[in-house]
Structure 1
Amino acid sequence: MRFCDQLNDYIRELDCMAKDICDKSSISASTFSRYRSGERIPAPDSDTLGKICKALHDIALERNYDKSLSDNNYNFDYDSLMQSFTQCEDYASGSNADKQYLQRNFRVLVDVLDISISRLSSYTNYDSSTLFRFRNGARQPSDAIGFASAVSAYVAGELTTVHNMNVLADLLECSTSDISDHNILYQKIYDWLLTNQQHSSAFNSVSHFLDSLDEFDLNAYTKIFHFDKLTIPAMPFQLRTSRFCYGINEMMGCELDFLKATVTSRSDADVTMYSDMPMAEMAKDLDFAKKWMFGMAMLLKKGLHINIVHNLDRSLDELILGLESWIPLYMTGQVSPYYLKGCQNDVFLHFLRVSGAAVISGEAISGHHSDGRYYISKTKEDINYGRTRAKNLLDTALPLMNIYTCIDSAKMQAFLTSYITTDGTRRDIMSSPPLYTISDSLLNSILEHNNTDPATRQRILQYAALQRRSVETILENNIVNIDISYVNSEEFEQYPVMLSLSGMFHDNNIYYDYNEYCRHIKESREYAASHSNYSLNITSSHIFRNLQIHIHEGCWVLISKCNSPAIHFVIRHPKLRDAIEQFVKDF
């Protein structure tokens, strides 16, 4: 039985009114009405639930309720009421894990529906600052069930425009007709908010990343990584209990020791990293850069999750250098990037590395990086203190970008759908022609010669049709500029081109033959000629072969890895977004 049904049964049994309970419990009439309708429920350990139980108990005493005279045989003592309520099915999924799922999924819902936090606050009676903390990951809802219920009620009741329903259908992986009923929509949103949307073992890009480091298609973008000569550090590695290090060279050795200790330890705890130290000097040491990258890759191969808190209060050169260093690691799906908002400091520099095996803490004065001091330790006390600092740091930080892997396909489509009608010029850098410009006859021909099974063929055709509809809607009021790298026959033999299917996370790459590729280029030109707001530029430049960049100017940048397994990350931070937009303009 649901909480609302149990509550209403008790009210009928006592033949009392909602006002009677509100007067005794000091709960507002609007909030209590939502409890009765099922739109919200109180937390199982909250004072509110206790007040409801006490109010029902007091009313039963006042009315001399005798359960022997009733067919229901209800007990209205406080403990029985509390037990009856907390056994309701609404509370069945109120674990700590659900709070984590809810926190992540709430952020996705706010992003794809562009939910107004102030309006949500007014509707749900949650403070705006609290909602912002939930969205940014600084806090978890203490009452996962009640919060999920309140958010679901708001969305189902207030955000049901045609556009929002299409977005929700994509997110919930159903049709709009399936959620046309208010109660069904509420329940689907509620269930989705409390469902685990995390990575599965089916997606394991780490081994692929390590096995093909020298072939990784992002090398043309990062320009600085060559992994073919990397060597595995000697094992086992014994780290001294603790020591101080001074200056840049000792600090780099200290960091490599930290990576070795973490890789070779038995701990599987998350790794947290932060530094506002200058990066240029360390980047000049290519030997260190290679060893550092290999150590990071080994952390990922071990299965560790890395939280990196970026310092964005840097020069543009330093900022791009940092981005170049981390993008390949983001591609694994095991790195969560964060940043600190409004954190400016021109005097003191800080350095922090924390794992389950070691901790490094460093400091320096701005402009005197070479005089910095660093402390590395593997003692339990130092590690525990470091992990407390790391937790506090993450509580303060904000997510830098959204990362989508194959298990996030519904979220990815919902995100894109949510921006279809948002004004703004689009700019794409493509390594292959866009799928929406291809004819069904040519697409069927390509799928046939790739021996695609009928079910997969139908999915790809549907995806192509969805892409066409989306772009047609965008072009009604906005300009779309596309740059496609053209591949001649000689280059095609060495670097065959595949269909642009990363957006649907297709399991296998599907390749053109050269004639099919040329036909699609021709159809893309014809598409451009027939759409006044569409600009197509065919270029012989090949900066990217395994990367596509999609820009919604002033809103976000979407960077997509094309090869299977596909992965996408969306950057909204203005400084990073502007830097990439400028890069594309200079392309």
Structure 2
Amino acid sequence: MLFHEKLSLLKEALGTTSSALARSSGLDASCICRYLGAKTQPPRYGKAVASIAAGAAKLAVDDKRVRELRKKIGAYKEEILQEALVRWLNAADSSLKERKHPEPRKPLRGMKKKLIADTAQRLDLLMETFKTSNAALARYVNVDGSSISRYRRGRRGVGLEDPVLRDICRYFAFVCRSQGIPKELSAEINVSPDEAANEEYMTAKLFAWFREAGSAEHTRHLLQGIDAAEAQDLSFRAKIEKTESTRLTEEISYGADGVYSFFLKFTKMILASKEPLSIHICASDFSWFACAPRFRDDWRTLMQDILSRGHRIKIIHNLSLDADEMFSAAESWIPLYISGQVEPYYLTCPNRSLFCEYAGAAEGLCSMRFSCFKGREDEVTAFFSRSRDKAAFVKSQFDDLLTLAKPLVKIYKRENAAELRRDIENNRASAGGDIIKLMHRLSLESMPEHLAKQIFERTIADKAAKDEMMKYYHARRRAFLSSLSEVSVTEIYPEYSPEDIAEGRAAIYTPWLPCRRELFYTPEEFAEHIKAIERLTQERANYRCVMRPDLPFKNIDIVSKEGEATYVVKNDEPLAAFSLLHSYMNYVIDRYLRRYIPSA
């Protein structure tokens, strides 16, 4: 029986799917599909075969199916299922190619310096130490699995300034925190186990370790060729006239003050337009400027003004940026994404430039761009142009980048409320990945049933509406308790003022619910709900409730399933919500929310 036939029999015997087997094995689903279709084969006694055997053994939970499977593969009486599968899959009748055995790796403690002299060998060492597959690391850093394979074998270089390297360091820092750091690796990187538990510190140490080997290469700039927008077939006189007109329509300035003044000109020209415009933006790393208080405050106000005039914004983000810049961007962009007038995208092939760059164009009106070498932000050069040709050129660059981009969010409107609730509950119910909720009000699901019934009896007169609310409450309560049986849940709420509580102005969470009216606690009901939450924290070690006075959003809720899903819900009219479609952004939002959880 050939290997692909054995794999098909194994899948049928376990009653599983290709994707489930791939997830359990730590392989890409396309890899399993190619094996099943006999388009490719793993090497005999290779890592892929061992991973498939281990994954299949994890899925073998039904005793009857396990007994039948052991008979089919000829497992010995005392033989472990995983070992039997490895022997069966690697048998001679599978017709697998013999594996080319590399030279045995020496232990880390006695390893010669030349063995860890470059980035590829150090990456391979980390992945071997933690048994990390190419597919698992590729999913986190958002690259193809084949790219990780090339990095490991030294077929492709990864520079020190390459954002992928920083993402790799963040991934292994997270693994060190969750799994602990082996003694040999701890000695090699010179990090104690206690220090390895600090994720940010470990990221920096790993990055410094990689910096000891390899070097970065300069790559093509995002804005390279901007001046090529000039027509190629103009006569000499026409070129002179065009040059003179460009001098009148394009301005150049230097330093952060120049960038700020051009940004004001760019937005004010858009606001002066009587017709709705399409604005196209390509943004690389400019956190050094975006974090300035003067820019941040004016930027939020002007962006809200632009959207209120009916203008639409399309933006392409380069997400392989430092986490600090992402945290700053999250606070700024989340309220804009949820308006429905901003279409965010992310580059699937992030720009590997050493430059901080930005380009924006209001179609047919004006354009703005600036660029500087990272670490030399005081030398930034900014350009502002009223030329329609320049604006058209920036728009054409945006369109070219859009072919390499994917949507960053999925939008939900009021009419999609049922779909939104279903998606959130399905993700919450899955095993693995802690849940963090940043809520603008106490949630109904943490409320005991008798209290919910008492409040609905008092506030809702219509029996049908009351029954519908109780039905909704029971569904949410079941999902909440179910998630508590699988993972840890942390809820973050704003502190209620004593005056609002005493005067009955403490509101109950009701947006997106069947009853479209605002409900309020009595002082006694609010106190009882708080006591119920306190009891829940005592009864459930994996539940935590945090009250904070300094939450970043007033009418926005964020539900994060660690590394898997993020939902952002706006609770004032018009109701809207979105989910993030990028795995790295889910990790970023999870880390962002953890900033509001005090350490135990």
Corresponding position of 1:365: 373
| 3-state DSSP of counterpart to 1:388 | helix
2:357 counterpart (347, 350, 353): 350
CA contact (8 A) 1:245 1:254 kept: no
Indicate yes or no: 2:589 matched with 1:577: yes
Corresponding position of 1:422: 430
2:270 counterpart (262, 272, 280): 262
Corresponding position of 2:564: 555
Structure 1 residue 307 displacement after superposition: 1.8
Corresponding position of 1:325: 332
**Cα separation, partners in 2 of 1:557 and 1:505, compared to 1, 3 Å:** farther
Summarize the alignment of residues 149-548 of structure 1 with structure 2, pairs less than 5 Å apart.
242-247=249-254, 248-281=256-289, 283-284=291-292, 286=294, 288-356=295-363, 357-424=365-432, 425-450=434-459, 453-484=462-493, 487=496, 489-490=498-499, 492=501, 496-502=505-511, 504=513, 507-527=516-536, 532=540, 535-537=543-545, 539=547, 541=549, 543=551, 546-548=555-557
Structure 1 residue 243 displacement after superposition: 1.0
Structure 1 residue 396 displacement after superposition: 1.7
**Cα separation, partners in 2 of 1:320 and 1:527, compared to 1, 3 Å:** closer
- Uncovered stretches (5+) of structure 2, i.e. residues with no partner: 1-27, 38-245
| 3-state DSSP of counterpart to 2:339 | coil
**Matching residue's letter, 1:314:** L
Summarize the alignment of residues 40-119 of structure 1 with structure 2, pairs less than 5 Å apart.
118=30
CA contact (8 A) 2:280 2:360 kept: yes
**Cα separation, partners in 2 of 1:319 and 1:475, compared to 1, 3 Å:** closer
Q: Partners of 1:436 and 1:291 in 2: how far apart?
A: 39
CA contact (8 A) 2:548 2:596 kept: no
CA contact (8 A) 2:504 2:522 kept: no
**Matching residue's letter, 1:244:** E
Structure 1 residue 543 displacement after superposition: 3.3
CA contact (8 A) 1:556 1:577 kept: no
CA contact (8 A) 1:432 1:485 kept: yes
Structure 1 residue 552 displacement after superposition: 1.6
Deviations along 1:49-85, whole A, 9 cap, x unmatched?
A: xxxxxxxxxxxxxxxxxxxxxxxxxxxxxxxxxxxxx
**Cα separation, partners in 2 of 1:507 and 1:261, compared to 1, 3 Å:** farther
**Matching residue's letter, 1:306:** I
Structure 1 residue 246 displacement after superposition: 1.9
| 3-state DSSP of counterpart to 1:273 | strand
CA contact (8 A) 1:480 1:533 kept: no
Structure 1 residue 542 displacement after superposition: 5.5
| 3-state DSSP of counterpart to 1:419 | helix
Deviations along 1:519-549, whole A, 9 cap, x unmatched?
A: 222333455566x465243647563654444
CA contact (8 A) 1:484 1:539 kept: yes
Structure 1 residue 383 displacement after superposition: 2.7
Structure 1 residue 506 displacement after superposition: 6.1
Q: Which is bigger in relative contact order (C-alpha 8 A, separation at least 6)?
A: 1
Structure 1 residue 583 displacement after superposition: 1.7
**Matching residue's letter, 2:473:** A
**Matching residue's letter, 2:452:** L
**Matching residue's letter, 2:366:** A
**Cα separation, partners in 2 of 1:346 and 1:434, compared to 1, 3 Å:** same
CA contact (8 A) 1:482 1:537 kept: yes
**Matching residue's letter, 1:325:** S
Q: Partners of 1:333 and 1:555 in 2: how far apart?
A: 23
| 3-state DSSP of counterpart to 2:473 | helix
Q: Partners of 2:367 and 2:523 in 1: how far apart?
A: 54
**Matching residue's letter, 2:292:** K
| 3-state DSSP of counterpart to 2:507 | coil
Q: Partners of 2:550 and 2:454 in 1: how far apart?
A: 26
Q: Partners of 2:298 and 2:317 in 1: how far apart?
A: 21
TM score, norm. by length of structure 2: 0.51
TM score, norm. by length of structure 1: 0.52
| 3-state DSSP of counterpart to 2:270 | helix
Structure 1 residue 301 displacement after superposition: 0.6
CA contact (8 A) 2:438 2:491 kept: yes
| 3-state DSSP of counterpart to 1:478 | coil
Q: Partners of 2:516 and 2:487 in 1: how far apart?
A: 32
| 3-state DSSP of counterpart to 2:487 | coil
Structure 1 residue 435 displacement after superposition: 1.1
Structure 1 residue 282 displacement after superposition: 5.2
Structure 1 residue 481 displacement after superposition: 3.6
**Matching residue's letter, 1:408:** N
- Uncovered stretches (5+) of structure 1, i.e. residues with no partner: 1-115, 126-238
| 3-state DSSP of counterpart to 2:508 | coil
Deviations along 1:264-309, whole A, 9 cap, x unmatched?
A: 22443422222225333454352x4443322211211112221222
CA contact (8 A) 2:371 2:381 kept: yes
CA contact (8 A) 1:243 1:376 kept: yes
